């Protein structure tokens, strides 16, 4: 049990457990809103926030949180104004994030810590990060518990939700900021380039076996926790990038469950044909 002898690994495992819960939880609403690629867009903006905070000598997590939150609100506004081309808003913000990041990186003396945000680094999770992750997670859970029915209504039928006098604009704005926050707290573990996979893949896997939205939410969180905890442990013992390891495990979960589900459905079809 060598892994439990190191403080940085205990912090990493604790942070991973929270991230493994939060990302699939938010991912359920993100995927069904057809915003699966928003993770990529906001993570690139978050990288520009990290670069800016590094230049100013600030906490990079706070810098990424501010930048990605502003970008999330902008995406929501563009998505509303470009209804027929809503996906363009994600592409525009992603391009903006890449451009700003490139400029800021060229202006600074890039160190290893900055590059650790690209693919994740379990060794860089510190006590200040833990506090930010815990507080962010509590706010997200409180918001979803408070507005669960409204979020569900807006996710599946936003137009009728407006007619029902639900404060759609307000709830969407808060939700998008919390999406940005969930991405920010994931960067240390998974990294900028792979953060969206932890949001989308457990959800894509869970909907193949779930019978309801809540059922899918439970499975996606369970699968997310298994992938991220096992990924962090494996990356420690084999000296691998945690982000890549976690994503590979998530994809393996998807492939295995898809295969089992397909075999099960074929078996059912044979039984139905027989009788």
User: Based on the number of CB atoms within 10 Å of its own CB, is 267 exposed (0-12), middle (13-18) or buried (19 or more)?
Assistant: exposed
Listed in sequence order, the residues at least 6 apart from 69 whose beta carbon sits closer than 8 Å to its beta carbon are 177, 180, 181
State residue 30's pLDDT score.
92
Closest CA to 118 of 195, 182, 41: 195
**Whose CA is closest to 41, among 71, 76, 84?**
71
pTM of the model: 0.87
Query: For position 115, what pLDDT does the model report?
Result: 65
Q: What is the pLDDT of residue 202?
A: 94
> What's the token pair of residue 179?
């999406």
pLDDT at 229: 93
DSSP-derived secondary structure for 101-128: HHHHHHHS---HHHHHHHH--GGG--HH
* Domains in the chain with CATH codes: 2-197 (1.10.3470.10)
Q: How many residues does the chain have?
A: 275
Question: What are the 10-residue block averages of pLDDT along the chain, 275 residues in total?
Answer: 83 91 94 84 86 81 87 84 70 85 74 65 80 91 96 91 90 92 83 81 93 94 94 89 88 94 72 48
The reported pLDDT for the residue numbered 217 is 95
Asked if residues 41 and 176 have their Cβ atoms less than 8 Å apart, the reply is no
Query: Tell me, what's the pLDDT at 271?
Result: 52
């Amino acid at each position: 049990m060598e892994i439990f002898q190191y403080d940085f690994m205990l912090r990493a495992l604790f942070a991973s457990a929270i991230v493994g819960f939060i990302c699939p939880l938010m991912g359920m609403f993100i995927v069904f809103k057809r915003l699966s690629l928003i993770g990529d867009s906001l993570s690139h903006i978050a990288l520009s926030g990290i670069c800016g905070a590094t230049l100013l000598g600030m906490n990079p997590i706070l810098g990424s949180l501010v930048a990605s939150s502003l970008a999330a609100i902008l995406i929501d506004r563009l998505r509303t104004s470009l209804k027929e081309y809503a996906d363009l808003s994600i592409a525009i913000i992603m391009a903006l994030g890449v451009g700003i990041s490139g400029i800021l990186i060229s202006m600074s003396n890039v160190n290893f810590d900055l590059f650790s945000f690209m693919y994740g680094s379990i060794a860089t999770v510190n006590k200040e990060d833990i506090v930010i992750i815990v507080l962010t997670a509590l706010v997200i859970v409180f918001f979803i518990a408070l507005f669960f029915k409204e979020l569900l209504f807006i996710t599946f039928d936003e137009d009728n939700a407006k007619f029902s006098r639900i404060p759609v604009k307000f709830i969407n704005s808060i939700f998008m900021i919390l999406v940005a926050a969930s991405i920010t707290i994931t960067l240390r573990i998974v990294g900028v380039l792979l953060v969206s996979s932890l949001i989308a893949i457990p959800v894509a896997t869970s909907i193949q076996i779930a019978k309801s939205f809540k059922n899918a939410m439970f499975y996606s969180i369970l699968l997310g926790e298994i992938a991220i905890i096992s990924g962090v442990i494996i990356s420690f013992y084999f000296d691998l990038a945690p982000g890549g390891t976690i994503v590979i495990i998530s994809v393996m979960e998807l492939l295995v469950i898809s295969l089992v589900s397909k075999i099960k459905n074929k078996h059912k079809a044979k039984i139905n044909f027989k009788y």
